[in-house]
Chain A
C-alpha cells in the first residue's frame, strides 16, 4: 500500500470512528439494580428529646407541658447559636405544635396569625398555615363578599373602559359606544340575581361559622348578617317562583303555573301576585277537568237515529278481521250524520294497509270539518309518536329555515325571548347587522360543513320514530338518507353506518366503515381501563377487519398485551431529576450515573421508572441507539418490602411538599394509586388485587415536562391590557379589562 493510500485509509478510519462517537451509542445494562440503602440509627440530642415531649404533651392536650417543651427547644437553639453550632430548626414548628395544644380553634388561628409574622418560616409551613387560616368559615364568607363587591366593580369599570378604549382613534363615536355599553350594563344589572353566587356562598359560610362558634365575640354581628342575607335569599326565591308562574300562565300551562304560584305562597303566604295566579290557574284547571268529564258522556243529537243507514255494516266491517271497510264506508251517503265517521274509518283502513299518504289525506279532510270526528282526526295528525312523518317534515322545514336565517343574519338569527330585557339586549346588537350582512357569502360557503343545528335533534327523533313504526314505509328511504347524513355531520359515523346498512339498495359502505372504525378506535384509545380498552380494540379488529384503523388497533392491542402489568405507576425521568430525594438513597436508590445525562455509562429513558405490581420496579433505559425517541429497553428489579414502602412514602411526601411550594403543582388525587400506596405502607404490596378495575395507572411528570422551560406567572396587575381590532368596522382600540374573581371549586353547588 502506497503511503498516500495508507494515509487516505487512516483518515477514513478516523473519520468513521469520529462519526460513530458522534452517534452517541448508549450502554444498556444487562440487569438493572437499585442500591439497597441502610441508615445508621441517630442518637437523639436535647432538641430531639424536647420535641418528643412537645409532641406527647400536645397529643394529650397539655398546653403547659407543650409550652415548656417549646421553651426548651428555643433555649437549645440559643445555646447552639452562641456556641456557633448548627441550630435544630425546630423552633417555628415547635411553636405551631404548642399553639395546637390550645383548647380553642379560634385561639389556634389567632396564634398562627402571630406565627405567620415571623420572616424565617419554611415556605411550605407558611403556605400550610395560610391555608389553614383561609379555611376559617368567617374568613371564607367575608372573602366571598369581597369577591362579590369586586365583581360588581369590575363589570361597571369594564362597561366604561371598553367603549372608551375602542374609540381612541374614532373619538367621535365614543359617546355612542359608551351609551350602548352603559345601557347593556344596566340591562344586565337588572337581569342579575339579587343573590348572586358569591353572596350565596357567603351566606352558607356564615351559617357554618355560627354553627361552629355560636358564642364567640363575632357571632352576634355574623348572626345579623345571616338574618339579612336569608331574608334576601327567601325574597329572591319567591320572586323567581312568581316569574316562572307568570311565564307558565302566559303560555297557558296552568298546572305548572299553579305549582310555581303555590311554591311562592309557601315562602310568602301574603304575596298577592302569586295568590292571583294560583286562583286563576285553579279555575282554568277546573274548567279543563269539567270539559274532559263532559266529553266522555254520550249524547245523541236530536233527530239522529242511534244507528243511521249503513252504520251497523260499517261497525261490523271495522271490528271483523278482514272486514271490507272501504265498501261499507262507501255505502254511507255523504249527507249522512256519520259521513265523517266513514271517512275516518277509511283512513284507519288505509293506514293499516300501509297506504300512508291516502290515510293522511283522509285524516286531513276530516280534521278540517266541524263535526265531532274532527277532534279525533286532529289528535291523530298531531300525535308525534303514532304519526311521526308530518312532524319530521315540519322539523326539517324548521331546520332549513334556521339555516337560511343563519346565512342571512349570522348570530342575530337567534331572536330574543319576548321579555323587555332580552329584546333590549338584542336591539343593542342590531347596529352590528351591517357587518354581519357583509360576511353573508362566507356563511353561505361554510353552511354545508357546519354541524347540524341543535334543532335537528328533534328532527332526528321524528325520523327514528318513523323508522321504528314503518321500517319499510313510504318514506323510510328518505328518512334513512336524512338520518345517515345527520349522524355523519355530527361525527357519529358508527350510527351513520348502522342507518346506511339498513338502506335499500345499500350504498357504498366502504368510506363509512373506514370512518366508523376510526371513530371506534378513538373511543378505545380514551378508555382508561385496560381490560375495557383491550376489548374495544379487539372489537375494532373483529368488526372492521379490512380498515386502516383495524391495523392500528391490532398493533395497539399487541403492545397493550406486551406491556400489561397489574399496575403502572410511572415516575418520569424529569420528575426524578427535579426531585432528587425520590431518586436518591432515601427513595429508589438509582445510581447517579443513570441520571447524569451521559448515555455511555447507561441512562434512564424519559419514561423513567414504573411500579408495575407487587414490589416490582421497571426501569426504562435509553435504547442502544441513544435516541430518546426510540422505544426504551426495560429491565425489572424487585425492591425489599422496606425499601418499597420508603419509595412510596418519599413519593407522597415530595408530592405534598411540592404542592405547598408551587401552586401549579397541586396534589392530584387518584384513588387506585393511593390504594397501591396504602398497601405498600402496610407491607401488603405482594398481595396483588387482580380485579381489572383495581389497576392503577398514573404518571408523575416533572414540572418542566408539563409546562416547558418558561412558565407563565399570574399577572400582578388586577386587570388585563387588551388590544382589540375589528376588520368588520375597521376599528382599533386598547383598554384595561378588570379581571373578575375566579369562581371557587364549590361554585357548582350554588348555581
Chain B
C-alpha cells in the first residue's frame, strides 16, 4: 500500500516537472510590445502631424496616450538606447525633427526650436523646413510669455499682491493675441497655424479667467466676467473646447445665482425675482445647449449640472421664482 502511494507521488512529481518544462514565459499581448523600429514611431507621428488640433481633440495611440506625447517618449527611449546606431544610420537629424514636431504640439516651443535647429544642422534635406519651424517656435515661445498670471504674480511672503489695472492687463493680452495672430498668418496652411489658434484660444481663456477670479474686487466685476466668458465662447465656437467654454459660462451664472440668493434671501424685500430669474434662465439655457450636443463628454456634465442647478432653484420660494 505504502509503495503504491510512493509510486503515485513520484508520478505526480514527474508530471509537474514535465509540465513546468513545457510551459514557456507568458506571452506579451502584441498590442503592448515595445516599439521595434524608428519608422514605426515616425509613421504614426506623421499620420497625425497635419491634424487640426484646434477643432478636434488630439489623437490617442493604442495605450490611450496622447499620440504626440507617446511618440516623444518612444523617440527619447530610442535615443538613449541606440545613440551610436542612430548616428551611424544618419537618422539622428530625422529624429530631432520628429521630436520638434511632437514638442510643438505639447507646447514646449523652446525645446521644439532647439530640436529643429539640431535637425537643420544634421539633416540637410530637412534644414529649410526645420529652420522655418524653429523660427515659428521661437516666436510662439516669445508670444506665450506675454500676459498676466495671477498665481505666479503672488509671492508667498506677500500679504498684498499688487495687481495691474484692467486696462494694462487687457493691453498685455491684446499684445499676446496680436503676436499669435501674426504667427498664424505666417504659418499659412501648415499645422503650426492650428498651434497658433490653440494659443490664441488659451490667451482668451486666461484673460477671461483673470476677470473671473477678480470679479469680486473689480468694479462691475460680475458683468465683466460674464462678458469675457461669453467672448471666449463666441470667438472659439469652432474649437474642440467650445462645449467647455460654454460650461464655464454656465457655471459662472450658477455661482452668480447662488451668491445672489445668499446676499438677498428670497423671502426678503431686497430679492429681485427678475434679476434672479435672469441668472437662472441664462445658466440653464447654456447648460441645455451643451446637453444637446450628442457624442461629447461635456454633454453628461452639462446634464448633471443642469439637474443640480434646477434642484438648487427648487429651494427658492415659488412666488419669488416660478420656473
Q: Does A51 contact B (CB under 8 A)?
A: no
Q: Does A675 contact B (CB under 8 A)?
A: yes
Determine the residue in chain A with the shortest Cβ distance to B86: A306
Q: Does B165 contact A (CB under 8 A)?
A: no
Can you list, as one digit per residue, whether each of A682-702 has a CB less than 8 Å from chain B (1) or not (0)? 000000010101100000000
Q: Does B312 contact A (CB under 8 A)?
A: no
Let me know if B322 and A320 touch, CB within 8 A: no
Residue among B33, B37, B314 making CB contact with A341, cutoff 8 Å: B37
Q: Does B97 contact A (CB under 8 A)?
A: yes
Let me know if B40 and A341 touch, CB within 8 A: yes
Can you list, as one digit per residue, whether each of B212-248 has a CB less than 8 Å from chain A (1) or not (0)? 0000000000000000000000000000000000000
Determine the residue in chain A with the shortest Cβ distance to B40: A341
Q: In the docked arrangement, what's the CA distance between A386 and B273, Å?
A: 47
Within 8 A of B (CB), among A266-284: none
Can you list, as one digit per residue, whether each of B64-108 has a CB less than 8 Å from chain A (1) or not (0)? 110000100110011001100110111100100110010000000
Q: In the docked arrangement, what's the CA distance between A694 and B273, Å?
A: 8
Q: Does B30 contact A (CB under 8 A)?
A: yes
Let me know if A693 and B274 touch, CB within 8 A: yes
Determine the residue in chain A with the shortest Cβ distance to B67: A379
A333 to chain B, nearest CB (A): 14
A391 to chain B, nearest CB (A): 10
Q: How many interface residues does chain B have, given as a range?
A: 35 or more
Given A292-B32, A294-B32, A669-B318; A315-B44 close (CB under 8 Å):
no
B323 to chain A, nearest CB (A): 9
Given A344-B43, A373-B40; A457-B61 close (CB under 8 Å):
no
Determine the residue in chain B with the shortest Cβ distance to A315: B94
Let me know if B126 and A372 touch, CB within 8 A: no
Which chain B residues lie closer than 8 Å to A352 at the CB level?
50
Determine the residue in chain B with the shortest Cβ distance to A669: B318
Q: Does B175 contact A (CB under 8 A)?
A: no
Let me know if A299 and B34 touch, CB within 8 A: yes
Within 8 A of B (CB), among A377-430: 378-380, 383, 385-386
Which chain A residues lie closer than 8 Å to B59 at the CB level?
383, 385-386
Let me know if A298 and B90 touch, CB within 8 A: no
Q: Does B152 contact A (CB under 8 A)?
A: no
Which chain A residues lie closer than 8 Å to B65 at the CB level?
292, 296
Q: Does B55 contact A (CB under 8 A)?
A: yes
Which chain B residues lie closer than 8 Å to A694 at the CB level?
274
B289 to chain A, nearest CB (A): 14
Can you list, as one digit per residue, whether each of B24-48 has a CB less than 8 Å from chain A (1) or not (0)? 0000111111111111111110111
Q: In the docked arrangement, what's the CA distance between A385 and B59, Å?
A: 8
Which chain A residues lie closer than 8 Å to B39 at the CB level?
311, 314-315, 338, 341-342, 345
Given A306-B86, A385-B57; A671-B311 close (CB under 8 Å):
no
Determine the residue in chain B with the shortest Cβ distance to A383: B59
Let me know if B277 and A298 touch, CB within 8 A: no
Q: In the docked arrangement, what's the CA distance between A305 and B48, Å?
A: 26
Instruction: From A80-88, A220-228, A460-468, give the one contacting chain B.
Output: A460-468
Residue among A315, A385, A386, A669 making CB contact with B322, cutoff 8 Å: A669
Residue among A292, A316, A320, A672 making CB contact with B64, cutoff 8 Å: A292
Can you list, as one digit per residue, whether each of B302-323 has a CB less than 8 Å from chain A (1) or not (0)? 0000000001001000111110
Q: In the docked arrangement, what's the CA distance between A102 and B254, Å?
A: 43
Residue among B43, B74, B90 making CB contact with A345, cutoff 8 Å: B43
Let me know if A297 and B77 touch, CB within 8 A: yes
Q: Does B160 contact A (CB under 8 A)?
A: no
Q: Does A330 contact B (CB under 8 A)?
A: no
Which chain B residues lie closer than 8 Å to A674 at the CB level?
273, 319-320
Q: Does B255 contact A (CB under 8 A)?
A: no
Which chain A residues lie closer than 8 Å to B149 at the CB level?
none
Let me know if B30 and A375 touch, CB within 8 A: yes
Let me know if A319 and B94 touch, CB within 8 A: yes
Can you list, as one digit per residue, whether each of B271-299 has a CB less than 8 Å from chain A (1) or not (0)? 00110011001000000000000110000
Q: Does A448 contact B (CB under 8 A)?
A: no
Let me know if A338 and B47 touch, CB within 8 A: no
Let me know if A320 and B274 touch, CB within 8 A: no
Let me know if B82 and A671 touch, CB within 8 A: no
Q: In the docked arrangement, what's the CA distance between A164 and B236, Å?
A: 65
Determine the residue in chain A with the shortest Cβ distance to B33: A372
Q: In the docked arrangement, what's the CA distance between A672 and B277, Å?
A: 10
Residue among A292, A337, A351 making CB contact with B63, cutoff 8 Å: A292
Which chain B residues lie closer than 8 Å to A372 at the CB level?
30, 33, 35-37, 40
Q: Does B142 contact A (CB under 8 A)?
A: no
| 10 A-B pairs with the lowest CB-CB distances in the bound complex, closest first | A461-B295, A307-B89, A291-B32, A669-B318, A341-B39, A671-B273, A297-B34, A299-B34, A306-B85, A292-B63
| B positions within 8 Å CB-CB of A | 28-44, 46-48, 50-51, 55-57, 59-65, 70, 73-74, 77-78, 81-82, 85-86, 88-91, 94, 97-98, 101, 123, 125-126, 129, 190, 273-274, 277-278, 281, 294-295, 311, 314, 318-322
| A positions within 8 Å CB-CB of B | 291-292, 294-301, 304-308, 311-312, 314-316, 318-321, 337-338, 341-342, 344-345, 347-348, 351-352, 370, 372-376, 378-380, 383, 385-386, 457-458, 460-461, 464-465, 468-469, 669-672, 674-675, 689, 691, 693-694, 749
Q: Please name 22 pairs of A and B residues whose Cβ atoms are closer than 8 Å in the assembled complex, sorted by A.
A: A295-B63, A296-B63, A296-B70, A298-B35, A298-B82, A299-B34, A300-B37, A305-B89, A315-B42, A319-B46, A320-B126, A342-B39, A344-B47, A348-B43, A372-B33, A376-B44, A376-B61, A386-B48, A461-B294, A468-B56, A672-B277, A749-B314
Instruction: Contacts A338-B37, A672-B277 known; list 15 others, CB within 8 Å.
Output: A294-B34, A296-B35, A296-B74, A297-B34, A298-B74, A306-B85, A315-B38, A376-B40, A376-B44, A376-B47, A376-B62, A378-B62, A457-B294, A464-B295, A468-B56
